[in-house]
């Protein structure tokens, strides 16, 4: 019984981590296993993740990353209401080429103040050197990066640049302009690109 119970609890935690609601998990467990878990029981089981999440956000970071991607995406989150909130994420590439999720946080909307706080937190946890940051066009991002990592270079994410270009041209011209943009980006040097 204990082993069966541990398997169910492990599955509940995994489903909850994937964003399945407590009510949906309770219904799913009952249909699959015949075991009844109320949404409150599912919620209590999923709370076992809180210490692991807190430890993740406090862990010591590698002192150096070659490149760090900074971006936010909006996901529907259930709190008092069901709203879309910004999930900020920093993904780093180590000098050996391995990728790592450095950190993430959730806020109602994307703004440079949250990014600044996240960058300062990463620095205080041990990340001292980054060669290149890539990000979208959030106003003030270059300034925030210059304060926290003054030696790092900054590049605007090409996907975001392409989206912005597409928003400024007629629909019929988008494919041609995007092909031209890609050809410019593929050139070996600035002279060839010009």
Q: With a cut of 60, say whether residue 2 has pLDDT above it.
A: no
Name the band, by pLDDT with cuts 50, 70 and 90, for residue 1: very low
Give the tens place of pLDDT for each residue, 88-143. 999 999 999 999 999 999 888 888 999 999 999 999 999 999 999 999 878 889 99
170/28: higher pLDDT = 170
Lowest mean per-residue pLDDT among 15-19, 47-51, 65-69, 175-179: 15-19
Q: What is the CATH number of domain 61-155?
A: 3.30.420
Does 101 or 164 have the greater pLDDT score?
101
Per DSSP, what are the bridge partners of residue 93?
Answer: 67, 99
Strands 82-93 and 99-107: antiparallel
Q: Which tokens in the block code for residue 52?
A: 């692991």
Q: Maximum Cα–Cα distance for the chain, whole Å?
A: 71
**Inter-residue contact 22 to 47 (CB < 8 Å):** no
pLDDT value of residue 4: 46
> Quick check: 3 pLDDT over 50?
no
Q: Is the overall model pTM greater than 0.75, yes or no?
A: no
Contact between 135 and 71 under an 8 Å Cβ cutoff? The reply is yes
Does position 166 have pLDDT exceeding 50, yes or no? yes
Q: Where are the domains of the chain?
A: 2-56, 61-155, 157-194
- HEC states along the chain? CHHHHHHHHHHHHHHHHCCCCHHHHHHHHHHHHCCCCCHHHHHHHHCCHHHHHHHHHHCCCCCEEEEEEEEEEEEEEECCCEEEEEEEEEEEECCCCCEEEEEEEEECCCCHHHHHHHHHHHHHCCCCEEEEEEECCCCCHHHHHHHHCCCCEEEECHHHHHHHHHHCCCHHHHHHHHHHHHHHHCCCCHHHHC
Predicted local distance difference test score (pLDDT) of residue 37: 67
| Model confidence pLDDT, tens digit, residues 9-57 | 777 777 777 777 777 777 777 777 666 667 777 777 777 778 888 898 9
How far apart are alpha carbons 53 and 31 in whole angstroms?
29
> Do β-strands 82-93 and 64-78 pair in parallel, antiparallel, or remain unpaired?
antiparallel
């Amino acid at each position: 019984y204990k082993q069966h119970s541990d398997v169910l609890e492990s599955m509940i935690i995994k489903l909850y981590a994937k964003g399945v609601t407590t009510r949906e998990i309770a219904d799913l467990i009952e249909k699959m296993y015949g075991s009844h878990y109320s949404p409150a029981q599912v919620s209590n089981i999923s709370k076992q993740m809180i210490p692991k999440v807190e430890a993740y956000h406090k862990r010591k970071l590698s002192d150096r990353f070659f490149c760090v991607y900074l971006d936010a995406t909006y996901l529907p989150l259930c709190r008092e209401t069901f709203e879309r909130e910004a999930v900020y994420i920093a993904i780093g590439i180590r000098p050996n080429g391995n990728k790592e999720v450095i950190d993430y946080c959730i806020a109602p909307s994307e703004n440079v103040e949250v990014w600044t706080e996240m960058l300062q937190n990463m620095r205080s946890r041990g990340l001292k050197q980054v060669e290149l940051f890539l990000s979208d066009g959030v106003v003030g991002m270059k300034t925030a990066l210059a304060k926290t990592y003054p030696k790092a270079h900054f590049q605007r994410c090409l996907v975001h640049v392409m989206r912005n270009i597409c928003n400024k041209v007629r629909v019929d011209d988008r494919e041609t302009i995007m092909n031209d943009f890609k050809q410019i980006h593929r050139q070996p040097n600035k002279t060839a690109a010009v």
